[in-house]
């Protein structure tokens, strides 16, 4: 029977979602044994690190949560089969990146890892399981998971009576946490969304998962819907959030031409309670593993369902974001007298936002790539990102440029790993990165950047000393009074 009182949970995928979400469930529910598994043995070893500063995910508040629950009722393991066998409820929290091959290349979500999980669960399960989609998935994926679970569950078990074969309930439970604030987002979630199949087992499973969250989430914030609505709500939420950023970034370009100030415009419109103040910060462009991937997935779905106008509408959000990154890089080249060849450009920040070590789709990667095409010498400092990660990001981009992206246009030539390493230097000290630089570009809004000794930095830079503030974090009056030439986003 589908369990109604959950005491054993497994989560497949120990990444940025699986790790923090399960750590918080374990912290809040000491009566539930939570096992997080991954095929990446290094990742699991890192989650088991005694030194909590070296967990694989940098996230404020996470070390404290892990310290409290790990070894008590929170376990990280590579034994995927054992965890599946034991659990009553299994979260699938594996990556669903944009496809880089075949049908839907560059647009559709790659569901191969999710499919593998479904097959593995079906093969190993000997009793009834609740399977929870935690990964972000295209609408109607639950149907595919159900088909795999049902078909594979009978495979090789033909001798078993149909009634004694394990049963599965599939739930959609998308995750809305944002990196950098994940622990707070999980502890004080705006809502927990659960979509279930419309049958007795589905409703039983929905109740069981709602009861888990009710250990700390107020009941009125636990929202239940049809399974397709839940799946689609996740893509829609990200599309709406990203759309706000592209909207304000579009206005930033107009501000630069007209003498308006985008931060003032954002403040003024955000005071309208119908618009609201959040997600109106103009920047060098949004990054992260979710927004672009999920919108492209939405666009692909719309085309699949023959809705080209709807597809074009949402695709524009991504195109505008590409334009914003390109505009920033071009402004650096234009301002530095039309070439950055042989010039030292210091990058402050590489992560896609502050308070994370995640760099996936970070604007910094695209801006760097465009400057490297002109043979700039880039010197990077980021408080949490390793040199290997930075080189790896640039090398990956050389193989996976999108042709329709002005930042990665086809006329760009691919740089070799050796060329990248000769042109890009990664520093442990921001002051070293900035010494003798022609210009500084701020790519991430890390708080520490604001507190630097900018007078000392100015003294050690070449003149004229340019700052391109891609996050509008510096105080214009103070910085320009030192002598810097400051270029901000959306300030004419």
Contacting residues toward ligand NAD, per CB under 6 A = 12-18, 37-40, 43, 80, 93-96, 113, 116-117, 135-136, 175, 177, 179, 289-290
With contact defined as beta carbons under 8 Å apart, do 396 and 369 qualify? no
The annotation status of 429 as a binding-site residue, yes or no, is no
Distinct helix (H) and strand (E) counts, the chain? 18, 14
Which among 169, 158, 91, 171 is positioned nearest to 128, based on CA atoms?
A: 169
Our CA dihedral for 60, 65, 67, 68, rounded to 10 degrees, sits at 160
In the bound complex, which residue of the shown chain has the CB atom lying closest to ligand NAD? Answer: 15
Task: Look up residue 256 and give its two tokens.
Answer: 């630069």
Which of ligand UPG, ligand NAD, none lies near 332, with the C-beta cut-off 5 to 8 A by kind?
A: none
Cα separation, 434 vs 142, in Å, equals 51
Applying the rule CB under 6 A, the residues between 111 and 140 that interact with ligand UPG are: 136
Name the percent of the chain in helix, strand, coil, to the closest 5: 45, 15, 40
Task: Look up residue 167 and give its two tokens.
Answer: 């049963």
Which of ligand UPG, ligand NAD, none lies near 40, with the C-beta cut-off 5 to 8 A by kind?
A: ligand NAD
The annotation status of 88 as a binding-site residue, yes or no, is no
Closer residue to ligand UPG, CB minimum distance, 81 or 448: 448
Active site (annotated) includes residue 11: no
Shortest separation between residue 320's beta carbon and ligand NAD, angstroms: 21
x/- map, 250-289, ligand UPG, by CB under 6 A: -----------------------------xxx-x--xxx-
- Per CB under 6 A, does 353 bind ligand UPG? yes
Residue count of the chain: 492
Which among 22, 73, 26, 76 is positioned nearest to 48, based on CA atoms?
A: 76
Which among 259, 279, 260 is positioned nearest to 270, based on CA atoms?
A: 279
Single out the catalytic residue among 11, 29, 255, 290: 290
Closer residue to ligand NAD, CB minimum distance, 80 or 248: 80
The annotation status of 16 as a binding-site residue, yes or no, is yes
With contact defined as beta carbons under 8 Å apart, do 52 and 81 qualify? no
Applying the rule CB under 6 A, the residues between 136 and 175 that interact with ligand UPG are: 136, 175
- How far CA 42 is from CA of 12, 300, 489, in Å, comes to 15, 34, 40
- Per CB under 6 A, does 197 bind ligand UPG? no
- Per CB under 6 A, does 466 bind ligand UPG? no
Residue listed under structure tokens 């890390």: 446
With contact defined as beta carbons under 8 Å apart, do 197 and 165 qualify? no
- Per CB under 6 A, does 193 bind ligand UPG? no
Residues making up the annotated binding site for substrate are 175-179, 234-238, 274, 281-287, 352-353, 471
What residues form the annotated binding site for NAD(+)? 13-18, 38, 43, 94-98, 135-136, 179, 290-293, 360
Interacting residues toward ligand UPG by CB under 6 A: 136, 175-179, 238, 241, 245, 279-281, 283, 286-288, 290-291, 352-353
**Residues contributing to the annotated binding site:** 13-18, 38, 43, 94-98, 135-136, 175-179, 234-238, 274, 281-287, 290-293, 352-353, 360, 471
Question: Which sequence positions are flagged as catalytic?
Answer: 290
């Amino acid at each position: 029977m589908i369990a109604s009182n959950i005491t054993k949970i497994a989560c497949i995928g120990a990444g940025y979602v699986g790790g923090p979400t399960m750590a918080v469930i374990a912290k809040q529910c000491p009566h539930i044994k939570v096992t997080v598994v991954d095929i990446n043995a290094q990742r699991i070893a890192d989650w088991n690190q005694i030194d909590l500063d070296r967990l694989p995910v940098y996230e404020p508040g996470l070390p404290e949560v892990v310290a409290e629950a790990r070894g008590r009722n929170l376990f990280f393991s590579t034994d995927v089969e054992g965890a599946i066998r034991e659990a009553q409820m299994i979260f699938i929290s594996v990556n669903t990146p944009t496809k880089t091959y075949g049908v839907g290349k560059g647009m559709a979500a790659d569901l191969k890892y999710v499919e593998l999980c479904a097959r593995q669960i079906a093969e190993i399960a000997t009793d009834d399981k609740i399977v929870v989609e935690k990964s972000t998935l295209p609408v109607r994926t639950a149907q595919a998971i159900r088909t795999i679970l049902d078909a594979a569950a009978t495979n090789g078990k033909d001798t078993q009576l149909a009634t004694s074969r394990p049963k599965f309930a599939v739930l959609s439970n998308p995750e809305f946490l944002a990196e950098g604030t994940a622990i707070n987002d999980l502890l004080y979630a705006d809502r927990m969304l659960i979509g279930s199949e419309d049958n007795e087992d589905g409703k039983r499973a929905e109740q069981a998962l709602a009861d888990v969250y009710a250990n700390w989430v107020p009941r009125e914030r636990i929202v239940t819907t049809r399974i397709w609505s839940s799946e689609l709500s996740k893509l829609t939420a990200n599309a709406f959030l990203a759309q706000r950023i592209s909207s304000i970034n579009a206005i930033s370009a107009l501000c630069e031409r007209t003498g308006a100030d985008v931060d003032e415009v954002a403040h003024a419109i955000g005071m309208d309670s119908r618009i609201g103040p959040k997600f109106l910060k103009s920047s060098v462009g949004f990054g992260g593993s979710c927004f672009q991937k999920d919108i492209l997935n939405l666009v692909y779905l719309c085309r699949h369902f023959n809705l080209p106008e709807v597809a074009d509408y949402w695709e524009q959000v991504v195109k505008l974001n590409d334009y914003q990154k390109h505009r920033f890089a071009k402004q650096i080249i234009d301002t530095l007298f039309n070439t950055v060849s042989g010039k030292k450009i210091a990058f402050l920040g590489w992560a896609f936002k502050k308070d994370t070590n995640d760099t996936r789709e970070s604007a910094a990667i695209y801006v760097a790539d465009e400057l490297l095409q002109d043979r700039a010498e880039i010197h990077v400092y980021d408080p949490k990102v390793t040199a290997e990660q930075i080189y790896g990001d640039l090398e990956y981009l050389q193989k996976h440029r999108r042709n329709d992206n002005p930042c990665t246009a086809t006329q760009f030539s691919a740089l070799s790993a050796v060329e990248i390493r000769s042109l890009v230097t990664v520093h442990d000290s921001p002051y070293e990165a900035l010494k003798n630089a022609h210009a500084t570009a701020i790519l991430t809004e890390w708080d520490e950047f604001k507190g630097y000794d900018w007078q000392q930095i100015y003294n050690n830079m070449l003149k004229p000393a340019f700052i391109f503030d891609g996050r509008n974090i510096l105080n214009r009056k103070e910085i320009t009074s030192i002598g810097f030439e400051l270029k901000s986003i959306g300030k004419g």
